[in-house]
Chain A
Amino acid sequence: MKKGINKSDVEKIASLAKINIEDKKLDKLKTQLNDILEYFSKLDEVDTEDYGPKFDISELSNVFRKDRIKESLTIDEVMEGGKNKDNYFKSPRVEK
């Protein structure tokens, strides 16, 4: 496995995460991320052969509910937070 991540890796991850990051911030971020990732590698020291990943902390599983129609928010309430017109949210453009 290659060691650490470089600036273009950070740009690629930022693009996956849909976050614009100013170019001047990328170098510092890269250094900080590498420090942290190196620290994360400490996990390799732990012998976990007898253990599977833990996903159900409170030991609940398959929590279902009845699929019933319930009272919901009104259209006005839902629309309150964003730019909208005629009860539709305004969206970005579809073409490039």
Chain B
Amino acid sequence: MMQAWKTAELVKNGDISAKENILRYIDIIKKKDEDFNAFITLNNGQAVNRAKQIDEMVSEGIDPGKLAGVPVVIKDNISTKGMRTTCGSKMLKDYKPVFNAHVVKRIIEEGGIVIGKSNCDEFAMGSSNETSYFGVVNNPEKPNFVPGGSSGGSAAAVAYGASPVALGSDTGGSIRCPAAFCGLVGLKPTYGAVSRYGLISHASSLDQIGPITNKVKDAALMFDVISGKDDKDQTSIEYTSNSLENIKSDISNITLGVAAEFFGKGIDNRVENKVKNSISLLEDLGSNIEKVKIPTAEYSLPAYYVISTGEASSNLARFDGIRYGYSEEINKNWKSVFSENRGNSFGDEVIRRIILGTFALSAGFYGKYYKKAMEVRSKLIDEFNQAFNKVDAIILPTMPYPPFKIGEKKDDPLALYKSDMLTVPMSLAGLPSISIPCDKNSLIGMQITGKMKEEEKILNIALAHEEAL
């Protein structure tokens, strides 16, 4: 499949028509989506009209932008004006936002075309895309196996060729996990690098939007488009990224860190071997390998779940079915109506997490759980900072095992939580981390994690690895 940056170049030059291009993708979706269930809502009609506009701009000599004519899949927890945005939940099954998320606005400004909204775990809570009200997503690379989650629909869509690029969101691994399980590239940016305005909140001190793509250069392109300060998100930081133009696969002056804490216990042998092969490959390409220590890493998982469920319980308090969202009837008192609307429309996993978070924040337990988790988070950040005094980036597996069968872990929430053990440390520390396939056609991914704001560096390392395969 043609990469997005190349498509944009050809559309801009008038070498291919944006309309012909989008029709090809729509055709693929029509033929294949019923097998994989990657989409909740399609935007075919508007997408074709938009493509015609792009072609007209080109014929009039106007530059449509960095994504000229490129179809983009948007995860269904990112607001799209007038287009259903469900979060994979019965609560929002008919909800149409009246504004665009900042990232959607940016994609449209750069000539990109929103082709549809992708399936995801309900309110982005899950690692297997099995909690969606709109059904399980099937892994196109390995049917009857999970595509990973929570951005499973975004990854599946790119994997079966519905689009060259998609946006996902990552709270504790929700971009990197499905990217790994579907053999794709997934970038979780630095906390604050991309505005969260219009992203339906899960855990606000962790949430970030980022791309899922076939190739590294397209991840760089998408990051350039969506990153940067936005006054509507007060956690967004000053950041100008020109990573696609600057990207280079020379890693001869790079030192890579490997931490024993991310290997061994709990990691499948197949994963460990693949990642170690990749580390040898990166060494052959001229980088230096050094050992680093992140002793608190093994406590990241409980810290993450305390913090994320606590924040989620507060964020999801806004869904009461009165101003928008699921509502049956309102002829009862406030408390009954709220409790019925929420109880009848949130799925089991969402309810579990709200209850956990409410408990962890409740009087008498705040100190034991939430405050303690935030202290562990400080310690972890300190350890990462020390490691980054010695190395440019840290290499580790993305998921502890390859994709598993649909239904295999569905009744054991704790087992499923543990699959996030290698992705949550970077989320807690706000670090950028990219997951790339260890090998051609491999569903085992590895992460390259850098210092805050060093997306360019980890993209370079990822490109070097990709080109050497």
Query: For window 292-322 of chain B, which residues contact chain A by CB distance below 8 Å?
Result: 296, 299, 302-303, 305-306, 313, 317, 320-322
Interface string of A13-57 (1 = CB under 8 A from B): 111111111100100010011011101111111101011111101
A17 lies within 8 A of B358 (CB): yes
Q: Which residues of B contact A69 (CB under 8 A)?
A: none
CA–CA, A40 and B351, complex, Å: 18
Binding site of B, secondary structure by majority: helix, strand, loop or mixed? helix
Known: A18-B335, A21-B343, A46-B379. A29 touches B352 (CB 8 A): yes
Question: How near does chain B come to A95, taking the closest CB pair, in angstroms?
Answer: 7
A13 lies within 8 A of B358 (CB): yes
| B95 contacts partner chain A, Cβ-Cβ < 8 Å | yes
CA–CA, A91 and B321, complex, Å: 10
A40 lies within 8 A of B377 (CB): no
| A3 contacts partner chain B, Cβ-Cβ < 8 Å | no
Stretch from B6-14, B28-36, B129-137, B326-334 at the A interface: B326-334
Question: How near does chain A come to B400, taking the closest CB pair, in angstroms?
Answer: 16
| A58 contacts partner chain B, Cβ-Cβ < 8 Å | yes
| B381 contacts partner chain A, Cβ-Cβ < 8 Å | yes
Known: A19-B355, A58-B430, A92-B333. A39 touches B414 (CB 8 A): yes
CA–CA, A55 and B237, complex, Å: 16
Q: Which residues of B contact A96 (CB under 8 A)?
A: 333
B299 lies within 8 A of A58 (CB): no
Q: Name the residue on A nearest B344 (C-beta).
A: A20
Known: A51-B378, A82-B322, A82-B324. A95 touches B333 (CB 8 A): yes
CA–CA, A46 and B99, complex, Å: 44
A40 lies within 8 A of B98 (CB): no
B378 lies within 8 A of A53 (CB): yes
Contact of B355 (CB < 8 Å), options: A13, A60, A81, A83: A13
Known: A48-B378, A80-B96. A57 touches B356 (CB 8 A): no
CA–CA, A37 and B317, complex, Å: 22
CA–CA, A89 and B234, complex, Å: 29
Known: A33-B352, A81-B95, A81-B325. A54 touches B362 (CB 8 A): no
List the interface of chain A (C-beta within 8 A of B): 1, 5, 9-10, 13-22, 25, 29, 32-33, 35-37, 39-46, 48, 50-55, 57-58, 60, 63, 65, 73, 77-78, 80-83, 89-96
List the interface of chain B (C-beta within 8 A of A): 95-96, 98-99, 190-192, 205, 231, 234-235, 237, 296, 299, 302-303, 305-306, 313, 317, 320-325, 327, 330-340, 342-344, 346, 348, 351-352, 354-356, 358-360, 362, 368-369, 371-379, 381-382, 413-414, 417, 429-430, 452
Sample (20) of A-B pairs whose CB atoms are under 8 Å apart: A14-B355, A17-B358, A40-B306, A40-B360, A44-B368, A48-B375, A50-B379, A51-B375, A54-B377, A54-B378, A57-B430, A58-B237, A58-B430, A73-B98, A80-B324, A82-B322, A91-B322, A91-B330, A92-B332, A93-B333
